[in-house]
Structure formats: structure tokens, C-alpha cells
Copies of this chain bind each other. A is one copy, B any other.
Amino acid sequence: MNEPSRKRTTSTDVAADRRKQILRAAVEVFAERGFHRTRVSDIAKHAGVAYGLIYHYFDSKDDVLHCVFEDNWAVFMKAIEGLRDDPDLGAADKLKAISALFIDALEVAPATIQVIIQEVARSDRFVQTEKINAFNAAFAVIRTIVEAGQDRGELRPTIDAEVAAYAFFGALETICTGLMLNAVPLRDHRHAERVKETVNQIMLTGLCASTKGP
């Protein structure tokens, strides 16, 4: 797939603002109607700009989605790569931080998260065409964290790190989706905290009440 366009990268602040304005509008309509039911004119109308202006800033409707993803995902990737490389944190703490990152994002920008999960991560658009899931980089980071944790004796050595990465990520992702499908994504900040707590408990210490071992 082509690189998302970097057309006229901030030749002026005005251009950058317009770009952002369109991107913001796009996220909102994509979240509301879904990518493939959204017409380019919907984005334009929502952004309050003319039809053709979209094509000043983006190559195509697909490119708009691409850019929504790249702009936001890059931030997330940078954050989790930072965690991965942090020598002062244990594996469990790193995973907790990742959960927090996700859930916090869901609180702050639910539409963006929804679009990224629904229309990019899960869309056949990405999954199929590229053969390389756009999320693979994130999976790889989590896997690395898990493996490092196993090496240092912090995480159970019997677990397949790749599968663990999928499980961890999928759990987070589906929680986000599930929560979003309810009218009010996250009732309040305390709800968000409780969700984080639950994820961490499940992933790190399991559902079972019984103590480990024999």
C-alpha cells in the first residue's frame, strides 16, 4: 500500500490546520457511519470545506483513513517502544502502562480509537491487502516485553510469547470496542480505572481465585 501522503507538509500553519480540521472531521464521520458508508462529501460537509479540498490535502479517501491511523498510531508506538526500552520497569509494570495508555486514549478520544480499531486494525482493507497487519509492530513490541519478562523470571516461562501478545492486545482492543458500543463509552474516570484494574488482574494474575501451584 502507498505511503500516506505528506502533501505540503505544513508549508504554512494554515495548511496544517486545514489538514487537521479535515482529519478531525473524518474521524468523527468514520466513527459514526463507518468508513465505507462515509462519502467524501460527508467528510467535506462535516469539516465545512468544499468537496475538492479534501484532494488538496489527501490523495484519496483511503489516504484520509491512512493518515488518521498514522498520525495517531505513531504516538502510541513511540510510547510503547519507550516502555519496552525502559530498564527501570518490570514486565508487569510495562504491560500495565500499556493498558493504561489504551484505556486513557479511549477516555480522551473514543472516536479516534474506534476508527483505528474498527476501520484499520480490523478492516479487511488492512488485514488482507497488506498481508502485514498494521498492528504487527505493536504485537512485536509486546512480545519483546513478554520475552524479556520471561528471561528475567518475572513472567511464566511456559507461555508462548507470541500468543500472549495477541491475547493481551486483543483483550484490550475488544474491551475498547465493547465499551464503545454502549451509549456512554466510559461512564467516568473511576470506571476507566476499574477497567484498567480488571485487565491487569486478568492478564497478570488470571481469573482464578485459587492460588497457583499445587
Contacts and interface: CB of A to CB of B under 8 A. Distances in A.
Nearest to A150: B209
A211 to B, nearest CB: 5
Looking at A36, A177, A178, which has the most chain B CB atoms within 10 Å of its CB?
A: A178
Contacts of A119: 124
Interface in A144-161: 146, 149-150, 153-160
Nearest to A191: B160
Interface range on chain A: under 10, 10 to 19, 20 to 34, or 35 or more? Answer: 35 or more
B173 A207 contact: no
Given A195-B160, A206-B205, A177 B127 contact: yes
B174 A131 contact: no
Nearest to A95: B207
Contact of A124 (B95, B118, B174): B118
A175 interface: yes
A166 B208 CA distance: 16
Contacts of A178: 133, 139, 162-163, 165-166, 170
Given A174-B169, A177-B127, A146 B205 contact: no
B155 A207 contact: yes
Nearest to A208: B204
Contacts of A206: 156, 201-206
Looking at A125, A131, A153, A164, which has the most chain B CB atoms within 10 Å of its CB?
A: A164
Count copies of this chain in the complex. 4
A87 to B, nearest CB: 19
Given A170-B170, A170-B174, 12 more contacts: A33-B128, A34-B128, A35-B124, A91-B207, A92-B207, A118-B122, A132-B181, A156-B207, A163-B199, A166-B175, A166-B179, A205-B205
Interface of A: 32-37, 91-92, 95, 118-119, 122-125, 127-128, 131-133, 139, 146, 149-150, 153-160, 162-175, 177-179, 181, 194-195, 197-199, 201-213
B171 A167 contact: yes
B156 A208 contact: yes
